[in-house]
C-alpha cells in the first residue's frame, strides 16, 4: 500500500466515524451524510492509487455498471427506502461472495491458501451469500412482490440452522483441507438457501428491523473481505457497519418491546395477534372547523406523527399548521416515537423535509411527563405508538412497548381514514376515550382543511 493510499484511508476512516457520530442528531445529520460520502470518495480514490492495479479497464466497466444500476435506485421515493436498502445490502453481500469465491480459486491455484485465509474466505462467502438472498427477500417482501405474511412450517428453525451449521462445518473442513474444492460451491448454495429461509418466516412489517440486521451481516462480510484483500479500511468500515446495524436493530426491538429472537423467529403477523373485541363501541368524530377552534384555543399542542402521515405525505400541510398555530402564540411541539412509521427516523426525515425546526422535536421520555398538562394531543396517522393497551393490557401483543401518552392530554384529536388497526393489527382504546375526537380522512386532506379554517377569517386565539 502506498503512503498516499494509507493517508487517504486514515482520513476516510475518521470521516466514517464522524459521520456515525453526527448521524445521531437531526441537526447534524446532513453533515454526517456529506462526511460519509466524502469518506467513501477518498476510500475509492485511495484504492485507485493502489500500485497493484495493472489496468483500469475492468474497474471502469464495473463503475459504469454500478452507476447505471445505482442512479435510478437513488431516485426512489422516501417510502421505498427500506426496500432500496435491502437491495443495496443484497449487492454488498453479492460483492463479498464474489470476491471471496475469486480469491479461493486464485489462492488454491497458486498454492497460497493458508488456514487463516481459508477461514476468512469461508466466513466472507457464507455471510455474503446469505446477506445477498436475505436482502433480495427482504426487498421483495417490502415491495410486496412476494408474500408479506410470515411463511412457517414445522421444524423450520431446525431445518434453517442445520443448513447454516452444515455450511459452517464444510467451511471448517476446508480450513483443515482446502483442496476439497467440491465443498466450496456447496457452501455457497447452502448459504444462499439459508438467506431465503431466514427471511421467509418474518412478516413484511418487521422487514425494516431485519434490514438493519442484514446491514450488520453485510458489515461483517465486509470485515472478512477486508482480511481477504488485506484492506484495513474495509475492516474498519465493515466493523462500523456491522456494529451500528446491530445497535440500531436492538434499539428498534427495544422500542417495540420485542426481543431480537421474537423479531427474527416470532413470525409476527402470521395470525391475528389481537384479542378482538366484539362489543360495539362508539367514537366521537369532529370536523375541521371543530379542530381549528380547539387548536387555536389551546395554549399547548403536541403533534404525534405516525405511519399515516408518511402514507398521506402530509408533512408540508403539518408545517402549514405549525406556522398557523405558532403565529397565534400556541406552543407546538412534535413528539416522535422511536418506531413511529416503518423505518428508523422515518418521522424525523419527513419533518426535516418540511423544515420543522429541530428544537420543536421532543423525545418520548421527555414529553410524557408533560402530557397531563398538554391541551391538545394531535395524533396524525399514528396508532400503535399511542395505544394505551401497551400500558394496561397484559394480553396485548404490544404490552410493555413504551408509548407516547397522548391519552393523558386534556383533548385528543386523532386523524386517520377509518377504524382499521395499524401495524400490530389491534384495536386502540384511545379512539374510544371520552377526551378523544376523531377526524376521519386522509391526513393531508384533513390537515389542509384545518389550515384553511385557520388561515381564513375563522378562529383566533
Ligand atoms: P401504525 O400503528 O402502523 O398506524 C398507522 C395508522 O395510520 C393506521 O392505523 C392507519 O389507519 C393510518 N393511516 C394510514 N394511511 C393514512 C392516511 N393516508 N391518512 C391518515 N391516516 C392514515 O403506525 P405507527 O403508530 O407509526 O406505529 C408504527 C408501527 O410500526 C409500530 O407498531 C412499530 O412497532 C412498527 N414498526 C416500526 C418500524 C420502524 O422502524 N419505525 C419498523 C418495524 C415495525 P387508517 O387505515 O384507518 O387510515
Quickly list DSSP for 64-85: HHHHHHHHHHTTS-GGGHHHHH
pLDDT at 151: 87
Q: What percent of the chain has pLDDT over 70?
A: 96
The phi, psi pair for 183, rounded to 5°, reads: -70, -25
Is the per-residue pLDDT at 326 higher than 80?
yes
Is the per-residue pLDDT at 211 higher than 60?
yes
- Determine which residue's CA is closest to atom 22 belonging to ligand 1: 308
217-236: average pLDDT = 91
Is the per-residue pLDDT at 461 higher than 50?
no
Beta-carbon contacts of 138 under 8 Å, excluding residues fewer than 6 positions away, are 83, 86, 89, 199, 207, 210, 211, 214
- Residue 99: count of CB within 10 angstroms of its CB: 21
Q: Which atom of ligand 1 is nearest to the CA of 256?
A: 34
Helices 207-229 + 232-255 axis angle, to 10: 160
Confidence of residue 279 (pLDDT cuts 50, 70, 90): low
- Residue 75: count of CB within 10 angstroms of its CB: 8
- Residue 79: count of CB within 10 angstroms of its CB: 17
Q: Which atom of ligand 1 is nearest to the CA of 444?
A: 19
Q: Worst-scoring range by mean pLDDT, 102-106, 210-214, 308-312?
A: 210-214
- Determine which residue's CA is closest to atom 14 belonging to ligand 1: 308
C-alpha cell at 411: 383533548
250-259: average pLDDT = 82
Burial class (CB in 10 A: 0-12, 13-18, 19+), 11: middle
Helices 288-296 + 443-455 axis angle, to 10: 60
Distance of CA 99 to the CA centre of its chain: 27
427-436: average pLDDT = 95
- Determine which residue's CA is closest to atom 18 belonging to ligand 1: 312
Is the per-residue pLDDT at 286 higher than 60?
yes
Is the minimum distance from the CB of 415 to ligand 1 under 6 angstroms? yes
Going from the Cα of 345 to the center of ligand 1, the distance in angstroms, rounded, reads 14
Partners of 379 in the beta sheet?
Answer: 304, 414
User: What is the set of active-site residues?
Assistant: 384
Residue 330's nearest CA partner among 295, 378, 370, 367 is 295
pLDDT tens by residue, 158-180: 999 999 999 999 999 999 998 89
Task: Please measure the distance between the N-terminal and C-terminal CA atoms of the chain and give it in whole angstroms.
Answer: 68
Burial class (CB in 10 A: 0-12, 13-18, 19+), 354: middle
Site to substitute for ligand 1 among 416, 424, 430, most atoms within 8 A of C-beta: 416
Tell me what the pLDDT averaged over the chain comes to: 90
Residue 386's nearest CA partner among 443, 281, 306 is 306
Q: Worst-scoring range by mean pLDDT, 26-30, 34-38, 135-139?
A: 26-30
Confidence of residue 382 (pLDDT cuts 50, 70, 90): very high
Is the minimum distance from the CB of 307 to ligand 1 under 6 angstroms? yes
Beta-carbon contacts of 354 under 8 Å, excluding residues fewer than 6 positions away, are 315, 316, 318, 319
Is the minimum distance from the CB of 383 to ligand 1 under 6 angstroms? yes
Confidence of residue 269 (pLDDT cuts 50, 70, 90): low
Is the per-residue pLDDT at 245 higher than 50?
yes
Strands 331-336 and 411-416, sheet pairing: unpaired
Going from the Cα of 115 to the center of ligand 1, the distance in angstroms, rounded, reads 50
Predicted TM-score of the model (pTM): 0.78
Going from the Cα of 286 to the center of ligand 1, the distance in angstroms, rounded, reads 21
Strands 361-363 and 376-380, sheet pairing: unpaired
pLDDT at 459: 45
Going from the Cα of 257 to the center of ligand 1, the distance in angstroms, rounded, reads 16
Going from the Cα of 357 to the center of ligand 1, the distance in angstroms, rounded, reads 23
pLDDT at 266: 66
Is the per-residue pLDDT at 249 higher than 50?
yes
**Residue 268 and residue 253 in contact, taking contact as beta carbons nearer than 8 Å:** no
What's the CA gap between 16 and 453, in Å, rounded? 48
Is the per-residue pLDDT at 364 higher than 50?
yes
Q: How far is CA 425 from CA 192, 271, 273, 440, in A?
A: 32, 10, 7, 19
Q: Worst-scoring range by mean pLDDT, 146-150, 165-169, 436-440?
A: 146-150
Query: Which residues in 86-169 belong to E strands, given as ranges?
Result: none
- Determine which residue's CA is closest to atom 15 belonging to ligand 1: 308
Is the minimum distance from the CB of 256 to ligand 1 under 6 angstroms? yes
Beta-carbon contacts of 247 under 8 Å, excluding residues fewer than 6 positions away, are none
Residue 434's nearest CA partner among 410, 401, 400, 455 is 410
Half-sphere exposure of 65 (CA within 13 A, CB side): 7
What's the CA gap between 219 and 214, in Å, rounded? 8
Amino acid at each position: 500500500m502506498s503512503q498516499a493510499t494509507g493517508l487517504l484511508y486514515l482520513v476516510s476512516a475518521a470521516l466514517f466515524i464522524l459521520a456515525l457520530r453526527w448521524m445521531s442528531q437531526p441537526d447534524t445529520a446532513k453533515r454526517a451524510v456529506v462526511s460519509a460520502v466524502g469518506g467513501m470518495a477518498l476510500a475509492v480514490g485511495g484504492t485507485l492509487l493502489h500500485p497493484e492495479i495493472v489496468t483500469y479497464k475492468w474497474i471502469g466497466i464495473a463503475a459504469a455498471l454500478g452507476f447505471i444500476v445505482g442512479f435510478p435506485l437513488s431516485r426512489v421515493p422516501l417510502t421505498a427506502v427500506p426496500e432500496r436498502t435491502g437491495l443495496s445490502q443484497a449487492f454488498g453481500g453479492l460483492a463479498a461472495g464474489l470476491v471471496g469465491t475469486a480469491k479461493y480459486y486464485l489462492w488454491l491455484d497458486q498454492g497460497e491458501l493458508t488456514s487463516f485465509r481459508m477461514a476468512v474466505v469461508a466466513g466472507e462467502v457464507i455471510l455474503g451469500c446469505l446477506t445477498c438472498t436475505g436482502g433480495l427477500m427482504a426487498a421483495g417482501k417490502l415491495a410486496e412482490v412476494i408474500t408479506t405474511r410470515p411463511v412457517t412450517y414445522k421444524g423450520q428453525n431446525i431445518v434453517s440452522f442445520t443448513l447454516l451449521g452444515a455450511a459452517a462445518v464444510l467451511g471448517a473442513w476446508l480450513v483443515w483441507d482446502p483442496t476439497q474444492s467440491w465443498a466450496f460451491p456447496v457452501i455457497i448454495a447452502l448459504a444462499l438457501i439459508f438467506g431465503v429461509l431466514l427471511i421467509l418466516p418474518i412478516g413484511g412489517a418487521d422487514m425494516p428491523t431485519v434490514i438493519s440486521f442484514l446491514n450488520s451481516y453485510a458489515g461483517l462480510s465486509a470485515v472478512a473481505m477486508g482480511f481477504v484483500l488485506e484492506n484495513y479500511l474495509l475492516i474498519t468500515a465493515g466493523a462500523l457497519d456491522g456494529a451500528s446495524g446491530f445497535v440500531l436493530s436492538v434499539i428498534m426491538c427495544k422500542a417495540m418491546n420485542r426481543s431480537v429472537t421474537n423479531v427474527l423467529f416470532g413470525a409476527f403477523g402470521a395470525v391475528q395477534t389481537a384479542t378482538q373485541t366484539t362489543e360495539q363501541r362508539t367514537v366521537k368524530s369532529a370536523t375541521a372547523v371543530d379542530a381549528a377552534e380547539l387548536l387555536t384555543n389551546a395554549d399547548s399542542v403536541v403533534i404525534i406523527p405516525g405511519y399515516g402521515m408518511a402514507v398521506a405525505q402530509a408533512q408540508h400541510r403539518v408545517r402549514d399548521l405549525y406556522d398557523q398555530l405558532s403565529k397565534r402564540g400556541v406552543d407546538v411541539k412534535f413528539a416522535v416515537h422511536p418506531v413511529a412509521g416503518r423505518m428508523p427516523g422515518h418521522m424525523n426525515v419527513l419533518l426535516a423535509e418540511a423544515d420543522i425546526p429541530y428544537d420543536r422535536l421532543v423525545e418520548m421520555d421527555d414529553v410524557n411527563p408533560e402530557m397531563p398538562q398538554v391541551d391538545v394531543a394531535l395524533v396524525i396517522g399514528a396508532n400503535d405508538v399511542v395505544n394505551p393497551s401497551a400500558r394496561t393490557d397484559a394480553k396485548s401483543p404490544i404490552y410493555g412497548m413504551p408509548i407516547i401518552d397522548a391519552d393523558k392530554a386534556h383533548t385528543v384529536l386523532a386523524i386517520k381514514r377509518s377504524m382499521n388497526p395499524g401495524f400490530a393489527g389491534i384495536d386502540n382504546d384511545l379512539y374510544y376515550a371520552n377526551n378523544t375526537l376523531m377526524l376521519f380522512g386522509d391526513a393531508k386532506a384533513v390537515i389542509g382543511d384545518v389550515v384553511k379554517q385557520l388561515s381564513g377569517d375563522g378562529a383566533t386565539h
